Amino acid sequence: MAMRDRGTKPDKLTFPFLVKACSKLLALKEGRQIQVEILKHGLATDVYVQNTLIHFYGCCRQISDARQVFDEMSFRTVVSWNSIIKACTENLKIDDSFAIFAEMRSCGVEPDEATMVVLLSACAEVGNLSLGKWVHCQVIVKGIVLNCQFGTALVDMYAKCGALDFARILFDRMIEKNVWTWSAMILGFAQHGLANEGRSGRLTEAYDFIMQMPFEPDPVIFRTLLSACSVHDVKGRSEITEKVAKRLMELEPTRSGNLVMVANMYADVGSWAEAGIVRTVMRGRGLKKVAGESSVEVGGSICRFFSGYDSNIDSDNINHLLDGLSLNMKLIVTMLFDFPLERALTKQKNILERAYLHWA
């Protein structure tokens, strides 16, 4: 406003700073107003301005607007392509990310390090290990140095895709690591059940390990440790569980998933009053449980599954098989807590036989 009052005319370097500020604040209304000013000053076709607009709309989850800006560009740089691919990836439009990358290659645009990092993030989101390995090969061929940012993206991709051996090798070879690198490795171990490797099986040691890291632990790390507490501290006797839950609530007080996890942990140990309080807090804040989603690559195709929605015509057969596998895992608990093993085995046998008949 002071700039206007002095009669100074904004140029192509002025608006990108304003748009970036709106991106950080997620100020959609103000960002649209700035775009109107960009049009008035005849700067709508400047590539630098357009790139920041794509980033802005991606941050505000307005993918159609981001794509419109991209499609209307008469000239695109590699930053333009990276911006729209990143916008799609961060908004879980993974198929669009891959399609745009293919278009990028067909247009003869050479991807850079930033492109590879964004693609690895997309591969991690859907568990596409094959494409992730291809990206890694391209990096090796291009001779791109394994810096902290790129190394972290590779560790994250391999860990989320279940290739923990590759993730661990890269993690150990990285000279420089930051909090995101540690988070990716710890989360990967926790997700795939290697509690001892992730140090989540020994809760006190895990907590001390996290607190002594050379970085401030982020919510992902505390969420991972809390998940481990739900497995290894089922009776809620450890003070670590309370410390971790409290710290996580301080860092992310409005994330519904955290509150759901805490409520479930209270319910598992019979603390129904505490569980009820947590759910009351959720209702008071207008928070709802987000449906779970997972994906897996099978034969080169990505299959996506949503909690409570069975789009697959064979979902009944799949559920029968999963029931059998789930019961098989629960047999371990029966041996530890004197559950009637014979009854459990009989039920498991019936479920597995029924699943086999459906799939045979």
Q: Where are the alpha helices (DSSP H) in the chain?
A: 2-5, 14-25, 28-40, 47-59, 63-71, 78-90, 94-106, 113-126, 129-142, 148-160, 164-173, 179-191, 203-211, 219-232, 239-251, 256-268, 272-284, 315-337, 341-359
pLDDT value of residue 248: 86
Query: What pLDDT is stored for residue 30 in this prediction?
Result: 95
Same domain for 103 and 131, yes or no, is: no
Give the bridge partners for 294, in sequence order: 305
The pLDDT assigned to 290 comes to: 63
Task: Confirm if 317 and 358 have CB atoms less than 8 A apart.
Answer: yes
- For residue 72, the model assigns a pLDDT of 95
Q: What is the CB neighbour count within 10 angstroms for residue 112?
A: 14
Q: Supply the range of the domain harboring residue 168.
A: 111-193
| Within a domain: 356 | no
Structure tokens, 6: 């002095």
Tell me if 323 is assigned to some domain: no
So what's the pLDDT on residue 289?
67
Distance CA 247, CA 165 (A): 31
Q: Cα separations (Å) of 131 from 85, 154, 261?
A: 15, 12, 33
Do both 93 and 115 map to the same domain? Answer: no
Answer with the one of 238, 254, 287 that is the final residue of a domain. Answer: 287
Q: Kindly state whether residue 311 falls inside one of the protein's structural domains.
A: no
Q: What are the φ/ψ torsions at residue 301 (nearest 5 degrees)?
A: -110, 145
pTM for this predicted structure? 0.62
Residue 295 in domain: no
Same domain? For 188 and 237 the reply is no
Q: What is the pLDDT of residue 142?
A: 83
Calculated CA dihedral for residues 295, 299, 301, 306, nearest 10 degrees: -30
Residue 180: the pLDDT is: 83
The answer on 188 and 205 residing in a single domain is no
Q: What does the pLDDT profile of the chain (360 residues) look like in tens digits?
A: 666 667 677 788 899 999 999 999 999 999 999 999 999 999 999 999 999 999 999 999 999 999 999 999 999 999 999 999 999 998 889 889 999 999 999 999 999 889 999 999 999 988 889 989 999 998 888 888 888 999 999 999 998 898 988 998 999 899 898 878 887 887 777 666 554 556 444 567 667 767 777 777 888 788 877 877 776 655 555 577 788 888 888 888 878 888 888 888 777 777 788 888 888 888 887 777 666 666 666 666 666 666 666 555 566 777 777 777 777 666 655 554 454 545 545 554 554 455 445 444
Q: Are residues 39 and 122 in the same domain?
A: no
Same domain, 150 and 228: no
Do residues 304 and 295 lie in contact, with contact meaning Cβ atoms separated by under 8 Å? yes
Looking at beta carbons, which pairs linking 39-42 to residues 24 or more positions away fall under 8 Å? 41/9, 41/10, 41/11, 41/15
- Looking at the fold, whether 98 and 62 belong to one and the same domain comes out as yes
C-alpha separations of 348 from 318, 321, 325, 341 in Å: 15, 11, 9, 10
Q: Please choose, from the candidates 67, 46, 45, the residue with its C-alpha nearest in 3D space to the C-alpha of residue 55.
A: 67
Cα separation values, 116 from 110, 132, 175, 325, 359, Å: 11, 9, 20, 37, 40
Q: Are residues 62 and 158 in the same domain?
A: no
Question: What residues have CB less than 8 Å from 74, skipping those under 6 apart?
Answer: 45
Confirm whether 341 is domain-assigned. no
Residue 146 lies in a domain: yes
Q: For residue 194, with 0-12 CB atoms within 10 Å meaning exposed, 13-18 middle and 19 or more buried, which class applies? A: middle
The Cα–Cα gap between 294 and 288 comes to: 19
CA-closest candidate to residue 257, choices 225, 290, 281: 290
Closest CA to 188 of 173, 177, 198: 198
Both 93 and 141 in one domain: the answer is no
**208 and 272 together in one domain:** yes
Q: Is residue 283 part of a domain?
A: yes
Assign residue 274 the CATH number of its domain: 1.25.40
Q: Which of 55, 82, 109 is the last residue of a domain?
A: 109
Q: How far is CA 260 from CA 217, 227, 288, 309, in A?
A: 21, 11, 9, 20
Tell me: do 185 and 257 sit in the same domain. Answer: no
Instruction: Look up residue 111 and give its amino acid.
Output: P
Asked which of 109, 126, 158 is the last residue of a domain, the reply is: 109
What are φ and ψ of residue 293, in 5° steps? -140, 140
Number of domains comprising the chain: 3
Q: Which residues have CB under 8 Å from 220's CB, separation 6+?
A: 183, 187
Does the residue 293 lie in any domain?
no
Number of Cβ atoms within 10 Å of the Cβ of 242 = 13
DSSP state of 215: S
Does residue 155 contact residue 188 with C-beta atoms inside 8 Å?
yes
Question: Do both 16 and 83 map to the same domain?
Answer: yes
